Amino acid sequence: MTTLRIGLLGGGGMASTHLRSLLRMPDAQVMGVSAPLVDPAVSDLCARAGIPVKDDRSWLLTGCDLDAVVIATPTDSHAELIAQAAEAGLDVFCEKPLARTTAEARAAVEGCRQAGVKLAVGHVVRYFAAYSRIRHAVVQGEIGPPGLATCRRVSGPPSGAREWYGDPQRSGGVIMDMGVHDLDWLRWCLGPVTRLSAIQSPLAPGSVAMITLRHAGGALSHVQLSWMDPKGFATAVEVSGPGGLLRHDSRDSQALQVDGWPGAAAPDAGRDDGTVGDDDPYLAELTDAVAWWSGGPPPRCRAEDGVAAVALAEAALRSALLREPVEFDDEPVEDVA
């Protein structure tokens, strides 16, 4: 088995998730982490695993003899970092959204193509068991031709180290940051999008949004997004058709629910001993990417799908601004219902 030498760009929440996954993978070796701001979760993991951490990006990209890099930085930095990694000849896994704008996302894909490096994108919802199970059932025709899909994704407001999320210029707000997950999954499940219409309230810019999509096969879908849920992060999805309904709600689908007293830190035993999560979608998406870099089949989400998801989110932002439906010129999608 070849071991890939991998660098990690970013020091926040998703960086720590990906770092944990990489440390569990026998065919990946983390050579270093580079970020201007590093959460304690990341620095603790690095200290324990003997992984160097520096702010200096060129040290990581060109001084560590890497095979590939994982990018988990704020959205508006993705395009530039992908370009630098491609220039250094590294394969790339980039956290979603692939870039802040469609033009940047297209340039990133083109840059990687020209440099001959592989670009994977972290549309992890494709790896969540319930979402992939529903998509499988829909594609298999279990409910007949799909009629309407509704996706809901909510969380509390961005805060603390996540501050940059709250700046719509940097993150694209709920539509680009969270909606891009559901937009990608809906496209994967129901096929190319022909038209969409979105609304956002000026009372809470970037914090709540709804999007309606029309798919080429005739199905409708609806996305509800909010950063205003005091109960915290949750997702729900349902798809209905003439043969019935498929649904999943993360809030009633937890195998383990842990609650602490109000005001106290939530009880946490950590996830670091490498035994949690047979069914860990974050581990699965990185495992697929590393296998691809090592010569295996491409992952579930192609870089072009990542571009399409950004383009959908951008079209939704435009539609909300115009208060008008927007026609969408989509690429074909593989294996849809």
Partner 1 sequence: MTARLPLAVLGVGHVHAPGYLRRLLARPDVKVVGLYDDDPATLRRVAADTGVDSFASPDACLERGRAVLVCSEPTRQRRLVELAAAASRPTLCEKPLGTTPVESRALLKAAARVPLSVALPVRYHSAARQLRRLVQASALGTVVAVWASNRNSFPGGWFADPARAGGGCLLDHVVHVADLLRWIWGAEFETVTAEDGVRHRPGLAVEDTAVVQVNCTGGLIATIDPSMSRPRGMPGALDLVVEAWGEQGSATLDLFAPRVERVGEDGRIARLPVGDDMDAAMLDAWLHSVVEEEAPPVPAADAFAATALSFAAKEAAVSHRAVRVVA
208-215 vs 193-200, strand pairing mode: antiparallel
Among 40, 52, 244, 298, binds partner 1 (CB under 8 A): 244
Rounded to an integer, what distance in angstroms lies between the CA atom of residue 168 and that of residue 76? 10
List 65, 230, 256, 334, residue binding partner 1 (CB under 8 A): 256
The nearest distance, CB 148 to partner 1, in angstroms, is 14
Q: Which one, 203 or 269, has the nearer CB to partner 1?
A: 269
Are 204 and 157 spatial neighbours (Cβ–Cβ below 8 Å)? no
Residue 259 found at the interface with partner 1 (CB under 8 A): yes
Residue 267 in the binding site for partner 1 (CB under 8 A): yes
Among 203, 258, 263, 332, binds partner 1 (CB under 8 A): 258
Q: Does 44 bind partner 1 (CB under 8 A)?
A: no
Q: Is 256 exposed, middle or buried (0-12, 13-18, 19+ CB in 10 A)?
A: exposed
Instruction: Give kind and range of the element (H or E) at residue 14.
Output: helix 13-24
Minimum separation from the CB atom of position 280 to partner 1 (A): 8
Contact between 1 and partner 1 by CB under 8 A: the answer reads: no
Binding of partner 1 at residue 268 (CB under 8 A)? yes
- State the number of binding residues for partner 1 (CB under 8 A): 37
Q: In the bound complex, what is the minimum distance in angstroms from residue 74's beta carbon to partner 1? A: 30
DSSP string, 281-305: HHHHHHHHHHHHHTT----SS-HHH
- Examine residue 222 and tell whether it contacts partner 1 (CB under 8 A): no
Residue from 230, 263, 273, 297 touching partner 1 (CB under 8 A): that is 273
Distances in Å between the alpha carbon of 66 and those of 12, 59, 287?
21, 11, 17
Instruction: Name the residue nearer to partner 1 (CB basis): 169 or 253.
Output: 253
Measure the CA–CA gap between 180 and 172, rounded to whole angstroms: 10
Sole window of 1-9, 31-39, 157-165, 256-264 interacting with partner 1 (rule: CB under 8 A): 256-264
Structure token digits, residue 211: 């999007």
Nearer Cβ to partner 1 (261/297): 261
- From residue 11, how far is each of 66, 138, 183 by CA, in Å? 18, 38, 26
Helix (H) or strand (E) holding 71: strand 68-71
Is residue 65 within the footprint of partner 1 (CB under 8 A)?
A: no
DSSP string over 187-229: HHHH--EEEEEEEE-TTSTTTEEEEEEEETTS-EEEEEEES--
Stretch touching partner 1 by CB under 8 A, among 2-10, 61-69, 254-262, 295-303: 254-262
Q: Which residues bind partner 1 (CB under 8 A)?
A: 129-130, 133-134, 137, 142-143, 242-248, 252-261, 264, 266-271, 273, 275-279
